[in-house]
Amino acid sequence: MADDATVTEEGLHGDDGLGPPDKSPRSANEATGPARAELSNYAIVNHYFDIATERLELREDIAAVLRSSYREVQVQIPIRLGDGRTHVFSGFRVQHNGARGPYKGGIRFHPEVDLDEVRALATLMTWKTAIVGVPFGGAKGGVNIPAGDLSQAELQKVARSFMDKIEKVLGPNRDIPAPDVNTNAQTMAWLMDEYGKLHGHTPACVTGKPIALEGSYGREAATGRGLIDVYREAAPALGLKPEDTRFVVQGFGNVGSWAARILQDIGGTLVGVSDATGAIRADSGIDADALHAHLAAGDPLGDFAGVDAIDADELLDIECEVFIPAALGGMLNQGNADRLRCRVVLEGANSPTTPAADEILTDRGVVVVPDVLANAGGVVVSYFEWVQNLQHFRWEEDAVNGQLRKIMRTAYREVSSRAEADGVPLRVAAYELGIERVVEASRTRGYIA
Ligand code: NAD
């Protein structure tokens, strides 16, 4: 078991007022995005965990168990690339906590992936699955490849090689991967196929698969749809109307583009967008469907017609009701949080808000709907996909979306009523709820006294 305490300690005494300067490597994305995190994502996650466990008066020995990972695997992935040379990448799978069920979490292909990052994301999954009440534990995986520079054939080699090296700790009753940044249904198909070569056809070994390979209707859109389900539930109490909402999306990939298309469908107006290449704005509205088609055709964001190209950090200055961070961690931080001109931050990305930014936003009265609640729609429909695969039965898309809405609504109500009763932000209430459920499962199993 890793000595997580060292990382946590380091992470809580730096220049965010809360932790040290983040020494984790940064990619070229930084050049086009707003200033990135002062803290590593792992320090961010543990900061929120510590606030909740203190409020819950959780015993330190129990907190120590919940803070550390059950298993951390790092493997070598040597791949011969187009330049004729063999490049050695690293693959990671972290299984954080399995008290509530098999480990569950996405696989990310990104040059910034390292053990610290994957550990943070795995930890978030533990709380997320507990908050929405699906019977999984938390895990995450990743490979530190520059996915955008690799061909489809090279990405396939990476996916298969990664599966070959971690398959022993995976399986439908052990640990079930899903897509994340720079991975998609195609990646899941390669992973399922490779797992099947070793274990026989096992569709429930990964979720987020293509429809043609026992994927679930509604899975691709699920994280974005779940975000909007939560917003629809939150809006009335804030005096906001979903059908009358101006919104900005930072990161227009799976999560950001689906959230944009769905909120636009119910009447919202997209007024600003960024991706890894730049940013655009249009106060009269950006057609989210047309933009999605434009990017899917391989055309750059900046060439989209009828909008103004802006610097990536100017995205933060756009007046709107809802700001949706849907790119990478730590993008809303001490250096830029006071620039946001929105009423609500709806966290599509994992760990997009550093603790310092969270405090600034809360002090300014901006409601932050936290990642562990807001972006849980993906894992909820992954749960539906897993159930369908185990039963060899397919649900209609309306049934998937209806069940998703019910779960997201219930989770929001449980978190918001707790937040209101205790006078704490939604994030604190969400962590408390998630931690309590994991503690209860651990106690009942006899893992902790
Ligand atoms: P994706 O790869 O489909 O999209 C990522 C987007 O972010 C792309 O548009 C990319 O260009 C953009 N981006 C990268 N660097 C950027 C920068 N510096 N500035 C602005 N944009 C930048 O990934 P995704 O699956 O949509 O995941 C996005 C976030 O949502 C991640 O934090 C992920 O962990 C989280 N998330 C994803 C899921 C899911 O089901 N896919 C579920 C829960 C949470």
pLDDT band at 82 (very low <50, low <70, confident <90, very high): confident
pLDDT of residue 21 exceeding 50, the answer is: no
Mean pLDDT of 404-432: 98
Averaged pLDDT of the chain: 91
pLDDT band at 390 (very low <50, low <70, confident <90, very high): very high
Is ligand 1 within 6 A of the CB of residue 122? Answer: no
pLDDT of residue 233 exceeding 90, the answer is: yes
Q: Probe ligand 1: pick from 113, 255, 404, max atoms within 8 Å of CB? A: 255
Is ligand 1 within 6 A of the CB of residue 295? Answer: no
How many degrees, rounded to 5, is the angle at CA 439 between CA 438 and CA 440?
90
What per-residue confidence (pLDDT) applies to 8? Answer: 26
Is ligand 1 within 6 A of the CB of residue 350? Answer: yes
> In angstroms, rounded to a whole number, what is the distance separating the alpha carbons of residues 425 and 431?
10
pLDDT band at 40 (very low <50, low <70, confident <90, very high): confident
pLDDT tens, 115-158? 999 999 999 999 999 999 999 999 999 999 999 999 999 999 99
Is ligand 1 within 6 A of the CB of residue 33? Answer: yes
HEC profile for the chain?
Answer: CCCHHHHHHHHCCCCCCCCCCCCCCCCCHHHHCCCCCCCCHHHHHHHHHHHHHHHHCCCHHHHHHHHCCCEEEEEEEEEECCCCCEEEEEEEEEEEECCCCCEEEEEEECCCCCHHHHHHHHHHHHHHHHHCCCCCCEEEEEECCCHHHCCHHHHHHHHHHHHHHHHHHCECCCEEEEECCCCCHHHHHHHHHHHHHHHCCCHHHCCCCCHHHCCCCCCCCHHHHHHHHHHHHHCHHHCCCHHHCEEEEECCCHHHHHHHHHHHHCCCEEEEEEECCEEEECCCCCCHHHHHHHHHCCCCHHHCCCCEEECHHHHHHCECCEEEECCCCCCECCCCHHHCECCEEECCCCCCECHHHHHHHHHCCCEEECHHHHCCHHHHHHHHHHHHHHHCCCCCHHHHHHHHHHHHHHHHHHHHHHHHHHCCCHHHHHHHHHHHHHHHHHHHHCCCC
Closest C-alpha to ligand 1, atom 4: 253
pLDDT tens, 391-405? 999 999 999 999 999
Closest C-alpha to ligand 1, atom 27: 181
191 CA from centroid of ligand 1 (Å): 20
pLDDT of residue 13 exceeding 70, the answer is: no
Mean pLDDT of 372-376: 98
Atom of ligand 1 nearest to the CA of 208: 40
439 CA from centroid of ligand 1 (Å): 30
CA-wise closest residue to 132 among 370, 329, 422: 370
223 CA from centroid of ligand 1 (Å): 11
Cα pseudo-dihedral 413, 414, 415, 419, rounded to 10? 90
> What's CA 266's distance to the chain center, in Å?
24
Is ligand 1 within 6 A of the CB of residue 351? Answer: no
Q: Give 137's Cβ-side CA count (13 Å radius).
A: 23
Is ligand 1 within 6 A of the CB of residue 129? Answer: no
Atom of ligand 1 nearest to the CA of 371: 44
Is ligand 1 within 6 A of the CB of residue 367? Answer: no
350 CA from centroid of ligand 1 (Å): 9
What per-residue confidence (pLDDT) applies to 223? Answer: 97
Q: Probe ligand 1: pick from 181, 227, 350, max atoms within 8 Å of CB? A: 181
357 CA from centroid of ligand 1 (Å): 20
Atom of ligand 1 nearest to the CA of 257: 26
Q: CB under 8 Å to 419, separation ≥6 — which residues? A: 425, 426, 428, 429
Q: What is the model's pTM?
A: 0.91
43 CA from centroid of ligand 1 (Å): 20
> CATH top-level class for 69-204?
alpha beta
> Are 379 and 124 a contacting pair, CB within 8 Å?
no
pLDDT tens, 258-279? 999 999 999 999 999 999 999 9
398 CA from centroid of ligand 1 (Å): 26
CA-wise closest residue to 216 among 207, 205, 225: 207
Domain coordinates in residue numbering, the chain: 69-204, 222-374
Is ligand 1 within 6 A of the CB of residue 195? Answer: no
What per-residue confidence (pLDDT) applies to 5? Answer: 29
CA-wise closest residue to 203 among 174, 171, 227, 234: 171
> Are 211 and 217 a contacting pair, CB within 8 Å?
yes
Residue 23 catalytic? no
Is ligand 1 within 6 A of the CB of residue 328? Answer: yes
> In angstroms, rounded to a whole number, what is the distance separating the alpha carbons of residues 269 and 182?
27
Q: Probe ligand 1: pick from 254, 258, 383, max atoms within 8 Å of CB? A: 254
pLDDT band at 449 (very low <50, low <70, confident <90, very high): confident
Is the sign of the CA dihedral 359, 361, 364, 366 positive or negative? negative
What per-residue confidence (pLDDT) applies to 38? Answer: 63
210-214 own/partner pairs: CB under 8 Å, 24+ apart: 210/185, 210/186, 213/189, 214/385, 214/388, 214/389, 214/394
pLDDT of residue 10 exceeding 50, the answer is: no
Q: How far is CA 137 from CA 31, 122, 195, 432, 441, in A?
A: 35, 9, 21, 16, 10
> Are 382 and 207 a contacting pair, CB within 8 Å?
yes
Is ligand 1 within 6 A of the CB of residue 376? Answer: no
370 CA from centroid of ligand 1 (Å): 16
Mean pLDDT of 90-96: 98
Closest C-alpha to ligand 1, atom 37: 180
What per-residue confidence (pLDDT) applies to 29? Answer: 33
Parallel/antiparallel/unpaired status of strands 367-369 and 344-346: parallel
Q: Over pLDDT 90: what percentage of the chain?
A: 89
> Are 372 and 127 a contacting pair, CB within 8 Å?
yes
> In angstroms, rounded to a whole number, what is the distance separating the alpha carbons of residues 401 and 369?
21
Catalytic annotation, pick one of 23, 104, 128, 140? 140
The larger pLDDT score, comparing residue 33 to residue 161, is at 161
CA-wise closest residue to 249 among 230, 226, 224, 266: 224
Mean pLDDT of 26-37: 35
70 CA from centroid of ligand 1 (Å): 26
Closest C-alpha to ligand 1, atom 20: 275
pLDDT of residue 2 exceeding 70, the answer is: no
What per-residue confidence (pLDDT) applies to 426? Answer: 98
> CATH top-level class for 222-374?
alpha beta
